[in-house]
Amino acid sequence: MERDKRNLIIGRAGWVWFGLCAIYMVARTIWGDVAWGVLSAFRQGAAWVLLLVCSLFAAVFHRLGKRQETACEHPVTRSGQYAWFCRISPFLGGTGGALAGLLGPKAADWPAWAAGGTVLVVGLSRLVATPLLYAAEMLLPASRRHLKARIAAAKAQRREAQLAKERILAEIEADAQRTVEEWNAILRPRASELARMTITGPAALEAYRGRIVDIGIEAWQLGGVACMRHLHTMAIEAAKEEASDPRSIEFIAPCWEGIGHW
């Protein structure tokens, strides 16, 4: 735990140092004289364009790298030693640049050399070396074998998940079918009875209101409103078999008002 916390602090400190150096280089490029040598390249817009392109290139590979869950495919870039090097690379570049500036002909420019060394080392390590190493690792035979195996395992997992969903859906459909069959067995006589009662028309239907309500309550207790609607549909079919007008079944609806959420 302490080790992870230390690594996190060092990594954040490195990015803060890199950011300060980059700001210093931009400010010195715009408002001051840039030190001689490699730092003078920062005066050229092409250098900044190249830095931007490399940043986008590195971001793409960094995003791809997050998807790789195994270090077997990337033994270098996913190793702890390389991660540690990336964390301390800003400080290595700054130290090297400062020493080069102090030993050079213009020792007073050592801050610019330190900042330039930091930006240069971080740019080469993070934006150039890491993507290239990452791409090279993908070409290794062992990495390709692991990649194929991981892709095959992912496909098998997705296929198994799809089969599991299909099995669940099949079970749900089977349960629904069994429920409908149970309802049909119980409610078929009730549907025929409703069809016979509604043939008499709305005037004589008042005499059967109590029985119609009882049948509706029985259906609601059996399967709720869904069962009542199923019984209503069965009654329409029964009315057709009785050679009656199926629209007469609509007389049932007012009698069932207040049962559940009908």
Model confidence band, residue 143 (pLDDT cutoffs 50, 70, 90): confident
Write the pLDDT tens digit of every residue in 209-262. Answer: 888 899 999 999 998 999 999 999 998 888 887 766 667 788 888 888 888 777
Number of domains comprising the chain: 2
SS3 104: coil
Residue at 207 is within a domain? yes
Same domain, residue pair 116 and 9 = yes
Tokens in use for 55?
């940043």
What range does the domain containing 10 cover? 2-139
Ranking 53-57, 124-128, 216-220 by mean pLDDT, the lowest is 53-57
Q: Do 8 and 133 share a domain, yes or no?
A: yes
62 token code pair: 């960094």
Q: Are residues 191 and 89 in the same domain?
A: no
Q: Which of 119, 139, 159 is the last residue of a domain?
A: 139
**pLDDT given for residue 136 in this prediction:** 84
Residues 6+ apart with CB under 8 A from 164: none
Same domain, 132 and 7: yes
Contact 24, 111 (CB under 8 A): yes
Tokens 């364009």 sit on residue: 49
pTM of structure: 0.46
Same domain, 23 and 89: yes
Burial class (CB in 10 A: 0-12, 13-18, 19+), 140: middle
Give residues with Cβ within 8 angstroms of 58, minimum separation 6: 126, 127, 128, 130, 131
3-state secondary structure of 139: coil
Within-domain flag for 145: no
Does 129 share its domain with 228? no
Confirm whether 221 is domain-assigned: yes
Each residue's pLDDT tens digit, 159-181:
999 999 999 999 999 998 999 89
Looking at residue 112, its amino acid is: A
| Residue where one domain finishes, among candidates 139, 158, 180 | 139
Same domain, 25 and 123: yes
Q: Angle CA(181)–CA(185)–CA(186) in degrees, nearest 5?
A: 120
135 and 175 both lie in a single domain = no
- In sequence order, what E strands does the chain have? none
243 domain-assigned: yes
163 within some domain: no
| 208/229 Cα distance (integer angstroms) | 19
Q: Assess whether 126 and 175 both reside in one domain.
A: no
Is residue 230 one of the residues assigned to a domain? yes
Close Cβ partners of 241 (under 8 Å, ≥ 6 residues apart): 195
Confidence band of 151 (pLDDT split at 50, 70, 90): confident
152 inside domain: no
Is 147 domain-assigned?
no
Q: Are residues 21 and 127 in the same domain?
A: yes
Within this chain, do residues 74 and 191 fall inside the same structural domain, yes or no?
A: no
Q: Are residues 16 and 132 in the same domain?
A: yes
Per-residue pLDDT, 196: 82
